[in-house]
Amino acid sequence: MAYWLSGLALLEVLEYAGTLSILIAVIFYFAETDLRTKQRHYQAWQVINTAQGKGGAGGRIEALEELNKDRVTLVGLDVSDAFLQAIKLDGANLDRANFSSADVREGRFVDAQMEFANLTSGNFRNSSFRNADLRNATLQDADLQSANLSGADLSGADLSKADLRNSDLHNAKWSQIADLKLANIFGVKNAPEGFLAWAMQHGAVASKPDGEK
């Protein structure tokens, strides 16, 4: 009987020990969450910085989307010449970012902060800048064919030589655009009242798409 009782006591101790070890493991897991997050961010920035100035994606799409998902600021980001097709950076803080000559077709920048960003000669066909802050941004010679610029703030933006064919300008803030000389506005959709006449007066052109008679 004494032996049987001692066995029961040992099982009870082992049960409590097992429960305690699980509890300790859970505590350590949550205690290290911040450290793991920092490690992920560090690795993501390593990918981005290593690929800086190079063509191709180089893992930057996934790295940038992960950082943005964690609400990490991307101010001053340099992804010039990068291949970032279909990247999703909705709500990102991209003030003063450099996207010059980058291929960002079908990218998403909905509600993004892009003040003073450099998009010179970038390919942003079919991209969405809905409600984006593009104040004082440089979009000179940028390909914005069929881009969604509805609600975007273009105050102070340089759109000279930009290709705006078939882009959507519904409710865009355009009255203080800095430069629109030689920008192609053929087929612009939902143009705000007065925009087309103003654009033509400020040097914009309306050339048909390539190959269209």
Mean pLDDT for each consecutive 10-residue tract of the chain (213 residues)? 52 58 56 69 87 76 95 94 96 97 97 98 98 98 98 98 98 97 97 96 87 53
pLDDT, residue 5, reads 45
Task: Please state the pTM of the whole predicted model.
Answer: 0.81
**Is there a contact between 117 and 97 (Cβ–Cβ < 8 Å)?**
yes
CA atoms of 112 and 118, how far apart (whole Å): 14
SS3 26: helix
SS3 199: helix
> Which CATH number fits the domain 53-213, given the four candidates 3.40.190.10, 2.160.20.80, 3.20.20.60, 3.40.50.2300?
2.160.20.80
* C-alpha distances out from residue 192 to 93, 109, 180, Å: 27, 21, 15
Domain boundaries, the chain: 53-213
pLDDT, residue 42, reads 85
**Is there a contact between 78 and 97 (Cβ–Cβ < 8 Å)?**
yes
* C-alpha distances out from residue 89 to 4, 36, 108, 116, 159, Å: 65, 22, 6, 17, 22
pLDDT in tens, 29-72: 455 556 667 888 888 888 888 877 677 777 899 999 999 999 99
pLDDT, residue 9, reads 58
DSSP code of residue 189: B
CA atoms of 127 and 131, how far apart (whole Å): 13
**Tokens 């390919």 identify what position?**
123
